[in-house]
Amino acid sequence: MTRLLIIGPPGAGKGTQSARLLENFAIPAIATGDIFRKNIKEETPLGIEVKAIVDAGDYVPDTLTNALVSGRLAEGDALEGFLLDGYPRTLKQVTYLDELLAGRGQSLDAVIQLVADQEEVVARLRKRAIAEGRTDDTEDAIRHRQQVYSHETTPLIAVYRDRALLIEVDGLGEIDEVSSRISDALAARGIVAAAK
């Protein structure tokens, strides 16, 4: 099975491309953002805590995120393969994930980095916020998350580049175009989608 990570600034299309990869590789997509939003909607204790953090435009602390991801990766459908979306975001999370996978005798196969112009991403997220009524997507909160993303993830992108796991893909353009770029880049590394 295939173990992938997709990374990129909020609004770069990770969710959309994750859905494609999930279908193509027959692996579960594990998106921390979706899990957080589900908890917020259901007003669970975690959801209430997460909502206050997200509304301030900040990221959920590593300890909460690590616990969430560890639990999800322990579920049967993710034991042999998965696509992580939005995790890890920090070097501490990279270390946690490395240790978690090493404990199973596993490692990541590739890290897909979606690259996108910041102004384009801000415009995308504002449109999405209006369409979906998302209160966490004010322009100030969006710009703050972009800055936090850049500050926190630039070092981990360097780690994955040094490990020769990083595949940089232009995240702008039509959905099918971006999907094709990802498929071609993975195939060039010998990572091919499951036969349908």
Domain boundaries, the chain: 3-187
Beta bridge partners of 168: 113
Architecture of domain 3-187: 3-Layer(aba) Sandwich (3.40)
Residue 188: the pLDDT is 95
Beta bridge partners of 30: 84
> Is the alpha carbon torsion for 28, 31, 37, 40 positive or negative?
positive
Sheet order of strands, 3-7 included: 29-31, 82-85, 3-7, 110-115, 166-170
Which long-range contacts (C-beta less than 8 Å, at least 24 apart) are formed by 43-48? none
Mean pLDDT score, 107-124 = 91
Task: Output the CA–CA distances (angstroms, integers) from residue 104 to 53, 68, 85, 194, in the order listed.
Answer: 32, 18, 20, 23
Place of tokens 């999907």: 179
Mean of pLDDT over the chain: 88
Q: Tell me the pLDDT tens digit for each residue of 58-95.
A: 878 888 888 888 888 888 999 889 999 888 988 899 99
Q: Tell me the pLDDT tens digit for each residue of 142-160.
A: 888 888 888 888 899 999 9
Name every residue whose Cβ is closer than 8 Å to that of residue 64 and which is 6 or more positions away in sequence: 46, 49, 50
Coil, strand or helix at 31? strand
Q: Tell me the pLDDT tens digit for each residue of 4-18.
A: 999 988 888 888 898
Tell whether the model's pLDDT for residue 195 goes beyond 70: no
Alpha-carbon span 23 to 196, nearest angstrom: 9
Q: Cis omega before residue 88 (within 30°)?
A: yes
Place of tokens 């595949």: 167
User: How much is the pTM?
Assistant: 0.82
Extended strands (E) in 19-86: 29-31, 82-85
Cβ neighbours of 46 (radius 10 Å): 18
Buried b (16+ CB within 10 A) or exposed e, 12-31: bbbbebbbbbbebbebbbbb
